[in-house]
Amino acid sequence: MPANLTPEYFKAEKWFRSAGTNDEKILALEHMLRVMPKHKGTDHLRADLRRKLSKLRDTDAQKGRARHVDVFHVPRSGSGQVSLLGMPNCGKSSIVAALTNAKVNVADFPFATTAPVPGMVLFEDVQIQLVDSPPITAAYVAPGQVGTYRNCDLIGIVIDLSADAQEQIGVCLDFLESRNLLITGETPAVDGQGNALAKKAFCICTKSDIARPEAFEAVKNSPRLPFESVQVSTETGTGIQELPALFFKLLDIIRIYAKPPGKPADMKDPFTLPAGSTVMDLAMAIHRQLAEKLRFARIWGTGVYDGQNTQRNHVLNDKDIIELHFS
Ligand SMILES: Nc1nc2c(ncn2[C@@H]2O[C@H](COP(=O)(O)OP(=O)(O)OP(=O)(O)O)[C@@H](O)[C@H]2O)c(=O)[nH]1
Ligand SMILES: [Mg+2]
């Protein structure tokens, strides 16, 4: 019986073939099994993929104790992680140098950055992690580098406006699409087990000071790039100071200030939560066990009157102040 495999399956198979690490291969195989049509004609293939998957998982488990240090894994810090992606010399390190205190290598030659380097960006009272990365080309992506992007919250595609923008868009999107790393109609943000699968992306166009005047419009109108795009120059500073607010907006997070009963709110150190979070989500973020004892909350902020009593399922807004009452 013919297997009648779908284009989505072939895309997943391509992802598997280009995967450089075991973790990536496991993700790709799981995706192949998920999208494979389920009928008699695919029974053999499914069994074969399951065998491969279990072999890979076993190898991973055996390696478990003696695992090497993965330089492409950047431990998270702050309220969200934004990782930069781009071709050699496009200006990634210059952006990180302009916005953070990280010691990055800005240089007039390609492949100056060889491993990811994180720095912290302050947006008002929120710390956001910005990660500089080694470049990618059509022919070369460092094995394991995909891990940096799989682990982050938001991908900043960096395009040098003074060079061939369409080529850079092609290389970056081919890389992300071949690894199922972009949120699209086909690739949801999470897989069946709730693991993060695809990411949101946006585009930072650099070197606006030396680009042709129409270069940015051409990138914005590029049909392959349906993301928010901004243009910057680290040379003149144009657009650089607006980036932290853009990161905050695209990370889709809100700040909540906790107020102990009878005391002023701590306005210096907000909790950050995904947009759409509720009073109960905040209580869980503060203390999972204590959250079960939440009786009610009082709220100061958007769409409520000051000190209003509110329910566990009340949806919070950015900058709300919450006073939690436990039994
Ligand atoms: N004129 C101009 N030059 C820039 C700008 N941004 C970066 N450059 C220059 O471009 C060169 C490369 O910048 P980097 O920030 O090192 O580029 P990169 O993307 O990190 O390069 P790799 O690490 O090799 O991938 C350096 O000489 C920078 O000074 C800009 O906005 N305007
Ligand atoms: Mg660099």
Handedness of CA 234, 226, 315, 83 (dihedral sign): negative
CATH topology of domain 253-326: Ubiquitin-like (UB roll) (3.10.20)
Model pLDDT, residue 216: 97
Percent of the chain surpassing pLDDT 90: 57
Where is average pLDDT lowest: 183-192, 213-222, 312-321? Answer: 183-192
In the chain, domain spans: 7-66, 81-251, 253-326
Rounded to whole angstroms, how far apart are CA atoms 315 and 258?
A: 15
Q: Which atom of ligand 1 is nearest to the CA of 106?
A: 16
Q: Which atom of ligand 1 is nearest to the CA of 108?
A: 27
Cα distances from 127 to residues 65, 74, 93, in angstroms, run: 33, 16, 19
Whether the Cβ atoms of residue 248 and residue 126 lie closer than 8 Å to each other: yes
Whether the Cβ atoms of residue 92 and residue 113 lie closer than 8 Å to each other: yes
Q: State whether the beta carbon of 107 lies less than 6 angstroms from ligand 1.
A: yes
Nearest CA owner, ligand 1 atom 9: 91
> Which of 106, 140, 209, 243 has most ligand 1 atoms within 8 Å of CB, for mutation?
106
Confidence of residue 23 (pLDDT cuts 50, 70, 90): confident
Which ligand is closest to the CA of 85, given by its number?
A: 1
Confidence of residue 47 (pLDDT cuts 50, 70, 90): very high
Rounded to whole angstroms, how far apart are CA atoms 149 and 137?
A: 16
CATH class entry, domain 81-251: alpha beta
Q: State whether the beta carbon of 163 lies less than 6 angstroms from ligand 1.
A: no
Given a cut of 90, whether residue 256 has pLDDT beyond it is: yes
Q: Which atom of ligand 1 is nearest to the CA of 88?
A: 25
- Tokens 């080309």 found at: 137
Ligand 2 centroid – CA 88 distance (Å): 7
Model pLDDT, residue 188: 56
